[in-house]
Structure 1
Amino acid sequence: MSKIKVVVVDDSALVRSLLSEIINKQPDMECIGTANDPLQAREMIRELNPDVITLDVEMPKMDGLEFLSRLMRLRPMPVVMVSTLTEQGADTTLRALEMGAVDFVAKPRIGVASGLQALGDEIVEKIRIASKARVSRLVAPPPSPTVPRDDSQQPPARPIGMRLSTEKVICIGASTGGTEAIKEILVELPADSPAIVITQHMPAGFTTSFAARLDSLCKIRVCEASDGQRILPGHAYIAPGGKQFHIARSGANYVAVVDDSPPVNRHKPSVEVLFKSCARVLGPNAIGVMLTGMGADGATAMKEMRDAGSYNFAQDEASCIVFGMPKMAIQAGAVHEVLPLKSIAKALMEKVSSAGGVRHRI
């Protein structure tokens, strides 16, 4: 079996050395070259034809995002970004994912050597996933960075008493490639859509920026979930990175529960945790959606949702970056419909409309 060929691009000699060492310890991959700036990387990619590159966000001579944009327009290939755990680093990383990067690794600001070594298993797993990912050519530059939303431009929402199926809750799980998949669905939903709860595999420090970016783009309101928060129609709640997120009932209301319970399926947040609570608390009021991602997190719980009466969708293989989590949910017998990503938002609203006896326009 041929090894996964990796080129490491980073302006830090220490990081290049550490990443090379981590990669070369794996029996199924090798670091075939390192570059200290994008110009050197460009020549190395032409010469060595790697399967995956790791790319630092902050680079000399050419910004990492600019290099990524050019790469994905001219020679699309799997890229794993190496980002810093800062608010600015999180925003930049989200931009990189919009441009087509498969995934990212968040390196610590201090203790880089020990921090990267501790992240060794995560780094090589993401490289393996990236090597099998579907990447596509970047046709146009993505939107400008997040700006605060102007609610004066938003269409008026129906009063609470007139909302369509206020008891319905859309429950979404995703991993690799999920940030863009979630965005594509949420931007299409109307302001009076049912409540939406989301678990996207993402570390602490990144979900706040992710929620803010979505909130600036969507008709619905989007926020990072907080413990005890009421789950309301017209709002989406994203599991905070590094925490577990599930829902509970408090009287007539659904509320968010955010806690520090252990990882499940090695994930924190875990789709399994959210979907189990949806099966238990929502029953037939749930509509499940499994999007792109590696592994099987959430598949068993999604089957529990179906058994409890929910109606479930999965993203199809052709539109997934990684057809792992949807595939496992389908194999588990958890899914009613398998759809291309671009069709899911419309299907969700049609399902909600039929349940409420009213048709939404989307």
Structure 2
Amino acid sequence: MKKIRVVVVDDSALVRGLLTEIINRQKDMECVGAANDPLIAREMIRELNPDVITLDIEMPKMDGIDFLARLMRLRPMPVVMISTLTERGAEVTMRALELGAVDFVAKPRIGLAEGINELATQIVEKVRIAASAHIRRATQTGLPTTTDAKTGGAALPLRSEHVPIGRVSTEKLICIGASTGGTEAIKEILTRMPADSPGIVITQHMPPGFTTSFAARLNSLCQITVQEAVNGERILPGHAYIAPGGKQFRVDKSGANYVCIVEDGELVNRHRPSVEVLFKSVARVVGRNAFGVMLTGMGNDGAKAMKEMKDAGSYNYVQDEASCIVFGMPREAILHGAADEVLPLLGIADALLSKLGATTDRYRV
């Protein structure tokens, strides 16, 4: 068996040692090098040609974000970030995912040795996923294409000659499920949605403490309002609601209105939040007024429930393999017969708008 070759980059000798030990315990992977700063890591990558690197964010000489930006521009490869459970850590992690990191592990602020050992299963799973991910070269700057769509950031391609979608937006609901690679895929769709789009509900696999920064980042880039879902809140047109990390999120009805239900619940398909929970509720509550979207991610979470949505009358889009970072969840949705259309990521928003009654000319990007 060809082992997954990993280089660990972290300024903490303790963390380097722990990660090296965790990786070397696996029969299918080995730590071929450990560097305490990005400059040493750069030489190791050249010499050792690893399959994956784990990368700390805060390091001497060059921080992890600067190093990641250069790496993804010059030598794109799978990277798993090692983040801290802080507000700044969450914000910087979102930036790392924008730059092309496949995924991240949130390490504890206290009890580091015990915490990392408790995360061992998650760490090695994410390294395995990263090793098989489709990695793309970053742009020269690695910067997003806009500053703020709501206040006139000019670089984002906004729609021209916009004709309001109208009454349909109060009846329809768009629901999106994603995992590995999903933060950028979701951004790609939401930044193309007009201010009067139907309400959008989203489950992205993400731990507690990170969805707040994710929602805030998207809100600054989109014409619609993007926020974390709040229990009991009415789902409005022109708004997107993201499942809070560590909670289950589903849709219910109160009178004529759709509402968010956010609650503690059991893990479903090993996830909380789970796409299965959201999609199953949409099949039951929304039925033929729903549009389903399954994006990049590992595993099969949501595939069965997406088929239930289709059987209830929803129209479903699934991201194609070529544009996925990881094709697991989309593949399972297709195999379950849940897809009405399989499209590249960049085609999904236009297809949605066209299906809602808008012409492609009105929403051309």
Bin the TM-score by the shorter chain.
over 0.9
- Is 1:313–2:323 an aligned residue pair? no
- Is 1:259–2:269 an aligned residue pair? no
Name 2:229's counterpart in structure 1. Answer: 225
Cα gap change, 1:48 to 1:358, in 2 (>3 Å): closer
- Is 1:180–2:199 an aligned residue pair? no
SS for the counterpart of 2:298 is coil
CA distance in 1, matches of 2:144, 2:209: 21
* 1:68-114 alpha-carbon deviations (Å, 9 max, x no partner): 01111111100000000111111111111111100000001111111
CA distance in 2, matches of 1:245, 1:85: 22
CA distance in 2, matches of 1:331, 1:312: 13
Q: Which of 323, 333, 341 pairs up with 2:327?
A: 323
SS for the counterpart of 1:229 is coil
Displacement of 1:359 in angstroms is 8.8
SS for the counterpart of 2:299 is coil
Name 1:286's counterpart in structure 2. Answer: 290
- Is 1:250–2:254 an aligned residue pair? yes
Residues 329-348 of structure 1 aligned to structure 2 (within 5 Å): 329-348=333-352
Amino acid in the other structure paired with 2:295:
L
* 1:212-258 alpha-carbon deviations (Å, 9 max, x no partner): 00000000000000100100110000000000000100001000000
Name 1:30's counterpart in structure 2. Answer: 30
SS for the counterpart of 1:136 is coil
Amino acid in the other structure paired with 1:118:
E
**1:225, 1:238 within 8 Å by CA — same for their partners in 2?**
yes
Q: Which of 189, 205, 211 pairs up with 2:193?
A: 189
Name 1:83's counterpart in structure 2. Answer: 83
CA distance in 2, matches of 1:133, 1:97: 13
CA distance in 2, matches of 1:358, 1:148: 24
CA distance in 2, matches of 1:358, 1:65: 37
Amino acid in the other structure paired with 1:361:
Y
CA distance in 2, matches of 1:239, 1:150: 23
CA distance in 1, matches of 2:43, 2:328: 33
Amino acid in the other structure paired with 2:300:
A
SS for the counterpart of 1:353 is coil
SS for the counterpart of 2:357 is helix
Displacement of 1:141 in angstroms is 2.2
Name 2:115's counterpart in structure 1. Answer: 115
CA distance in 2, matches of 1:124, 1:161: 46
Identity in percent: 70
Name 2:216's counterpart in structure 1. Answer: 212
Displacement of 1:139 in angstroms is 1.8
SS for the counterpart of 1:255 is strand
Name 1:199's counterpart in structure 2. Answer: 203
**1:245, 1:258 within 8 Å by CA — same for their partners in 2?**
yes
Displacement of 1:57 in angstroms is 0.5
CA distance in 2, matches of 1:287, 1:226: 21
Amino acid in the other structure paired with 1:131:
A
Displacement of 1:192 in angstroms is 0.5
Name 1:94's counterpart in structure 2. Answer: 94
**1:146, 1:213 within 8 Å by CA — same for their partners in 2?**
no
Name 1:43's counterpart in structure 2. Answer: 43
Q: Which of 236, 240, 258 pairs up with 1:236?
A: 240
Amino acid in the other structure paired with 2:331:
K
**1:95, 1:145 within 8 Å by CA — same for their partners in 2?**
no
RMSD: 2.2
Cα gap change, 1:231 to 1:46, in 2 (>3 Å): same
Compute the TM-score of the two structures, normalised by the length of structure 2: 0.94
SS for the counterpart of 1:143 is coil
CA distance in 2, matches of 1:301, 1:95: 31
**2:179, 2:205 within 8 Å by CA — same for their partners in 1?**
yes
Displacement of 1:152 in angstroms is 7.7
SS for the counterpart of 2:185 is helix
**2:275, 2:301 within 8 Å by CA — same for their partners in 1?**
yes
What are structure 2's unaligned runs of at least 5 residues? Answer: none
Name 1:104's counterpart in structure 2. Answer: 104
**2:165, 2:196 within 8 Å by CA — same for their partners in 1?**
no
Displacement of 1:353 in angstroms is 1.2
**1:51, 1:131 within 8 Å by CA — same for their partners in 2?**
yes
Farther-moved stretch of structure 1 (146-155 vs 221-230): 146-155
Displacement of 1:148 in angstroms is 7.1
Name 1:54's counterpart in structure 2. Answer: 54
